[in-house]
């Protein structure tokens, strides 16, 4: 997969810090804007630690994501507070077999070969339907969840923090977990204060909501 940030709120940490400072100050916004970075970042860190996350909604990030499966995007769009624009299978002909192979199948040479042959058969049938005059919107019914797709996603920082908490977890499905960690790596470059403690609860809060003690990331203190 390929994951890139193509747009974001300029200086998101500072924007959200100004919002945080404003809520507990008699000063006007233009006065708060003149505060130095060290003061503002300290305020933002403290507010985030207290769990007052509404201030980080003022920062948003737009990702260009390609080479992922439809199985992944079906999960991704369940995150409601976001905007999505996905490559259409109704208007775009996908004549060539483009698909994602799960690692559990990739590792098994025999199963991988069977999987690849099945994908090729599916795409042959898809193209046969198109050749028979079946419209793309109907021919696409034979395409699998493995079919590759591209999507543009915009989320505010608060939604992203929730997304990372759920999808960076070891119990998230492998493909969306990989996506989440890649997205987290990208936003940390741009907003290190907001996303400093982002990630699954076992890493950020020291507990496992799933209560899965067999997980290698399960917090040791939860075992006692």
Average pLDDT over residues 201-219: 85
188 is catalytic: no
Please identify which of the residues 14, 140, 158, 167 carries the catalytic annotation.
Answer: 167
Q: What is the dihedral of CA 186, 46, 161, 34, to 10 degrees?
A: -50
Listed by start position, the domains of the chain span 2-84+150-223, 92-142
- Positive or negative, the CA dihedral 129, 131, 133, 137 is positive
Q: State the Cα–Cα distance between residues 224 and 220, nearest whole angstrom.
A: 7
- pTM assigned to the model: 0.93
Nearest to 41 by CA among 27, 23, 61, 21: 21
Q: Is 191 exposed, middle or buried (0-12, 13-18, 19+ CB in 10 A)?
A: buried
- Per-residue confidence (pLDDT) for residue 44, from 0 to 100: 97
Average pLDDT over residues 90-107: 96
Instruction: List pLDDT tens digits, range 103-113.
Output: 999 999 999 99
- Per-residue confidence (pLDDT) for residue 221, from 0 to 100: 64
pLDDT at residue 95 tops 60: yes
Domain spanning 2-84+150-223 has what CATH number? 3.30.1360.170
Instruction: List pLDDT tens digits, range 133-182.
Output: 999 999 999 999 999 999 999 999 999 999 999 999 999 999 999 999 99
Average pLDDT over residues 100-126: 98
Tokens linked to 105: 């199948």
Instruction: List pLDDT tens digits, range 38-90.
Output: 999 999 999 999 999 999 999 999 999 999 999 999 999 999 999 999 999 99
pLDDT at residue 223 tops 80: no
């Amino acid at each position: 997969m390929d994951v890139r940030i193509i747009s974001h709120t300029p200086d998101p940490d500072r924007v959200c810090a100004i919002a945080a400072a404003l809520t507990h100050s008699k000063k006007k916004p233009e006065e708060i804007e003149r505060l130095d970075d060290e003061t503002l970042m300290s305020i933002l860190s403290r507010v985030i630690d207290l769990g007052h996350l509404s201030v980080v909604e003022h920062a948003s990030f737009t990702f260009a994501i390609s080479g992922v499966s439809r199985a992944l995007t079906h999960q991704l769009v369940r995150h409601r507070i976001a905007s999505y624009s996905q490559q259409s299978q109704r208007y775009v002909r996908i004549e060539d077999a483009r698909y994602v192979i799960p690692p559990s199948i990739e590792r098994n040479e025999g199963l991988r070969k069977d999987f690849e042959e099945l994908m090729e058969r599916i795409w042959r049938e898809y193209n046969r339907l198109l050749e028979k005059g079946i419209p793309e919107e109907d021919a696409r019914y034979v395409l699998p969840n493995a079919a590759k797709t591209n999507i543009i996603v915009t989320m505010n920082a608060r939604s992203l923090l929730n997304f990372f908490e759920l999808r960076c977890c070891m119990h998230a499905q492998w493909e969306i977990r990989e996506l989440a960690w890649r997205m987290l790596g990208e936003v940390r470059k741009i907003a290190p204060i907001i996303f400093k403690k982002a990630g699954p609860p076992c890493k950020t809060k020291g507990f496992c909501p799933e209560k899965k003690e067999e997980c290698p990331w399960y917090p040791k203190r939860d075992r006692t």
